[in-house]
């Protein structure tokens, strides 16, 4: 018979294997972001548009974070993700309103993102967990990188003080949900991949300007910014 220590080790092994599975499942949808990282410094020198691209991203992603925050605040199945200090959507929205003098309506890609979440909330709220986990863990891991590397403005990247508490709590919340629902493993993998697919649709949508060279630089730098937020290594370290 296993004692509590043995069960804990077994649970840790299952969790580590699950995280490795998520990494493998999402590898293909990360390709565009991985390529963008290689051109980070060169492209940022040519564009000089880090702030504009960041606000462009926030103008779309604040709707998504709002939706995810409502999910874990309202659904009992996701209540462990309602971590003190975790909400960021209001900071994003305030930054967008300040720098754009108003908040743009949600884009088509953003609406697709939100629609996907709402369908899951009606059928099986637990399947929203991968979206919450990756989005918030990525932001709280990448916010410091963004703020220091690109000198970005606004409050949405000032997450350093909260990150040390939020990130471990996010991991524990998802670990608990996974261990209690191992039958959902493949669906968690599928929805992790779908999250990156939905993000890539937003990246494609953010093409600023008509000049081909400018479009190339703009889209690639935006990929870098989003990649920093949802840093591959930040998820699984």
Q: What is the CATH number of the domain that holds 171?
A: 1.20.910.10
Average pLDDT of the segment spanning 101-119:
94
Residue 232 inside a domain? The answer is yes
User: Using CA atoms, how far apart are residues 173 and 235, in angstroms rounded to an integer?
Assistant: 14
| Exposure on the CB side of residue 194, measured as CA atoms within 13 A | 19
Residue 8 inside a domain? The answer is no
Counted domains in the chain: 1
Residue 81 inside a domain? The answer is yes
Question: How does residue 99 score in pLDDT terms, banded at 50, 70 and 90?
Answer: confident
Q: Cβ(169)–Cβ(85) under 8 Å?
A: no
Q: Cβ(95)–Cβ(141) under 8 Å?
A: no
User: Using CA atoms, how far apart are residues 90 and 65, in angstroms rounded to an integer?
Assistant: 9
Q: Cβ(73)–Cβ(93) under 8 Å?
A: no
Residue 63 inside a domain? The answer is yes
What does the pLDDT look like over 41-87, one tens digit per residue? 334 445 556 677 778 888 999 999 999 999 999 999 999 999 999 99
The confidence score (pLDDT) of residue 44 equals 46
User: Using CA atoms, how far apart are residues 175 and 17, in angstroms rounded to an integer?
Assistant: 11
Report whether pLDDT(147) > 80: no
In this prediction the pTM is 0.82
Report whether pLDDT(184) > 90: yes
Question: Which domain covers residue 64, as residue numbers?
Answer: 45-236
Residue 20 inside a domain? The answer is no
What does the pLDDT look like over 13-52, one tens digit per residue? 999 999 999 989 888 776 555 454 334 333 444 555 667 7
Residue 26 inside a domain? The answer is no
The confidence score (pLDDT) of residue 72 equals 98
Residue 203 inside a domain? The answer is yes
Residue 39 inside a domain? The answer is no
What does the pLDDT look like over 201-235, one tens digit per residue? 887 776 543 334 355 555 555 555 555 555 544 55
The confidence score (pLDDT) of residue 210 equals 32
Alpha helices in the chain (DSSP H): 4-25, 31-38, 40-47, 50-74, 89-100, 108-123, 129-150, 160-180, 185-205, 212-229, 232-236
């Amino acid at each position: 018979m296993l004692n509590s220590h043995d069960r804990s080790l077994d649970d840790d092994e299952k969790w580590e294997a699950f995280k490795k599975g998520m990494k493998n499942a999402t590898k293909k949808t990360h390709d565009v972001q991985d390529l963008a990282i290689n051109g980070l410094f060169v492209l940022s020198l040519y564009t000089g548009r880090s702030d504009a691209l960041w606000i462009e991203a926030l103008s779309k992603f604040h709707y998504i974070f709002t939706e995810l925050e409502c999910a874990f605040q309202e659904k009992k199945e996701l209540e462990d993700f309602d971590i003190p200090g975790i909400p960021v959507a209001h900071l994003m929205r305030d930054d967008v309103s300040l720098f754009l003098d108003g908040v743009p309506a949600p884009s088509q890609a953003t609406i697709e993102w939100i629609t996907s979440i709402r369908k899951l909330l009606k059928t099986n709220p637990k399947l929203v967990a991968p979206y919450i986990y990756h989005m918030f863990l990525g932001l709280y891991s990448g916010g410091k990188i963004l703020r220091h590397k690109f000198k970005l403005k606004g409050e949405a990247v000032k997450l350093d003080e909260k990150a040390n508490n939020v990130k471990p709590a996010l991991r524990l919340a998802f670990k608990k949900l996974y261990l209690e629902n191992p039958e959902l493993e493949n669906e968690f993998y599928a929805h992790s991949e779908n999250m990156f697919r939905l993000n890539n649709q937003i990246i494609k949508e953010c093409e600023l300007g008509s000049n081909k060279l400018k479009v190339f630089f703009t889209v690639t730098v935006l990929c870098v910014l989003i990649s920093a937020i949802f840093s591959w290594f930040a998820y699984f370290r």
